[in-house]
Amino acid sequence: MLKNNLLLVRSLIFYAGYFIATILTSLLSMTVFFLLPWRKRFTLYSTWCQLVLFWLRVTCGIRYEIQGMENIPAHPVVVLSTHQSAWETIFLYYAMSPVCPILKKELLKIPFWGWAMSLQKPIAIDRSKPREAGRSLLIQGRARLEEGLSVVIFPEGTRSPAGTIKEFSRGGAKLAVTANFPVLPVIHNAGVCWPAHTIIKQPGVIKVKIGEPLQVAGKTSTEITDAFSAWVEENKAIILGNSLVSVSPP
């Protein structure tokens, strides 16, 4: 009981700093966004992500180890990642910057945060209309890739409990094939430390693996999705908490 109470207190301290940093960064973004060159705009958001990851380590004792940072290319890609928590969203938007966020339309109405996000060329979709959302992803996603922004997609759709993987949709692969940009596969076990649907964070080390880009030339979306699925299957020991080899420090 004492341990759980301590974890709760540490998690609440994290969220207090998290919300303060988010409001301040959002206000700063809305103030200086149009005065900065476009790449510098995303550097500001990336800095917020780094700050959150640092604060998470200080307050909750959560660190991360990465294998495959050298696989991140200098050009835009469609990032396909497993999905367990909010942690990987923060990490990937930092590691893959500049990144175009994909979010629900209604999130843009959130004071401060939503207003700031609307300045970052997001792909805003209506999940209540799957067909329209799919078209928006293909049209807006291709435009963002051609503008020089990577796109992060979680093909499971919703977060999975740590140690499990849901069926992958083909939306991200369709975008990659349609726009002719490579797919960058990512797997992690973030749900072990940042479980979904609870505010309590567990101290530990989140392990991330980034694979070599999957080329899409001459491939169908089904073939790319199958290739991503096969890669995840080969590396799924990571989401079960097993150790990584040749780990790069964060």
pLDDT digits (tens, 9 = 90+) for 57-67: 999 999 999 99
Assess whether pLDDT exceeds 70 at residue 80: yes
Assess whether pLDDT exceeds 90 at residue 52: yes
Q: Reduced to 3 states, what is the DSSP secondary structure of residue 134?
A: helix
Distance CA 237, CA 211 (A): 14
Answer for the pair 203, 62: CB distance below 8 angstroms, yes or no: yes
Looking at every residue in the chain, the average pLDDT score rounds to 87
Answer for the pair 15, 199: CB distance below 8 angstroms, yes or no: yes
pTM of the model: 0.88
**Is 2-240 assigned to CATH 3.40.50?**
no
Query: What would the pLDDT profile of 206-232 be if each residue is shown by its tens digit?
Result: 999 999 999 999 999 999 999 999 999
Assess whether pLDDT exceeds 50 at residue 246: no
Backbone angles phi, psi at 78, to 5 degrees: -95, 115
Domain boundaries, the chain: 2-240
Query: What would the pLDDT profile of 136-154 be if each residue is shown by its tens digit?
Result: 889 999 999 999 999 999 9
Query: What would the pLDDT profile of 158-168 be if each residue is shown by its tens digit?
Result: 889 888 889 99
